[in-house]
Chain A
Amino acid sequence: QLQLQESGPGLVKPSETLSLTCTVSGASISSPSHYWGWIRQPPGKGPEWIGSMFYSESPYYNPSLKSRVTISVDTSQNQVSLKLSSVIAADTAVYYCARRLIGWGAFDVWGLGTKVTISS
C-alpha cells in the first residue's frame, strides 16, 4: 500500500531554512508514471502548490516561491526533499507531499502532512 510520510522540524526560526523529507513506501520514486510534489496549507486557508518534479528531470516551482525553494529526490532512499530558505512567519503552514500521475492525473495520494511553525 502506497504511503507518503513527511518529516522534519516543527519549529523553524525566521530567516533560517526549512528542510523537510517525504519518505515514500509501497512504490518507487523512480516510477515513470508519476510526479512528486509539495503543497502547503496555511492555517484556515486553501492549499498552495510549492513545486513538483519527475525523478529524472529538473523540478519546477511556483514562481512566487522559486527564489527560495529547492526540491530534490533521493532514489536510493526513495525520498523527496523540500528546502525553503529565508523563512518568514507567512511560511507557517501544514506541508504535504503528494503524488501526481503524469498526463491528466491530479494529486491522488497525499501524506498526512507536517505542521511547521516559523517563530523565534
Chain B
Amino acid sequence: DIVLTQSPGTLSLSPGEGATLSCRASQSINSNYFAWYQQKPGQAPRLLISSASRRATGIPDRFSGSGSGTDFILTISRLEPEDFAVYYCHQYGSSPWTFGQGTQVEVK
C-alpha cells in the first residue's frame, strides 16, 4: 500500500496569511492520480485539486497544487475565514487507493 504522510499535523495561522501543506508518499505516484480535499466538521470531503494541480470546479484560485513523484504541496495563498478546516491528500492511481491522515489548519 502507498502510505501518504501529511505534515504538519496542525498549522496555526491567521486570516490573510499563506499556508503550505505537504504530502509525502511512500513510493512514487503518477501525479495524474493525486488529489487534495478539504473537510469541515460534520461535512463530507470536498474536492479541491485533482491531477496534482487541476483546481476542481468552483474552487478559488488562492488554492494551488504542485508536486510530482513522492512529494506534493497544497498552497493557500491568503487564508479566508472559511478555509480553516482539515485537508487530506489522496492517491487513486495504485490500489488500494489511500488518503493521508490530514493536516488541520486552525486559527492562531
Give the B-binding residues of A (Cβ under 8 A).
45-49, 60, 62-64, 96, 98, 100, 104-108, 110-113
Q: Given A104-B32, A104-B33, answer yes or no on A47-B99 (Cβ-Cβ < 8 Å).
A: yes
Q: Flag if A106 contacts B99 (CB, 8 Å).
A: no
| B50 contacts A104, C-beta separation under 8 Å | yes
Interface residue from A62, A104, A113 paired with B96 (Cβ < 8 Å): A62
Bound CA–CA A46/B90 (angstroms)? 10
A98 CA to B101 CA, complexed, in Å? 19
- Interface residues of chain B, those whose CB is within 8 Å of chain A, are 32-33, 35, 37, 43-47, 50-51, 56-57, 88, 90, 92, 95-102
* Cβ–Cβ contact A48 & B99, under 8 A: yes
Cα separation A112 to B43 with both chains bound (whole Å)? 7
Instruction: Give B18 Cβ to nearest chain A Cβ, in Å.
Output: 24
**Contact assessment for B50 and A111 in the assembled complex, using a CB-CB cutoff below 8 Å:** no
Q: Determine whether the beta carbon of B88 is less than 8 Å from that of A49.
A: no
- The answer to whether A100 touches B92, judged by C-beta atoms less than 8 angstroms apart, is yes
Q: In the complex, what residues of B have CB within 8 A of residue A60's CB? A: 95
Q: Which residues of chain A are within 8 angstroms of B45 by Cβ–Cβ distance?
A: 47, 96, 107, 110
Cα A106 to Cα B102 with chains together (Å): 17
Complex CA–CA separation, A96 to B96 (angstroms): 17
CB < 8 Å neighbour of A46 from B33, B43, B100: B100
Query: How far is B46's CA from A108's CA once the two chains are assembled, in angstroms?
Result: 7
In the bound complex, do residue B47 and residue A49 qualify as a contact, i.e. CB atoms below 8 Å apart?
A: no
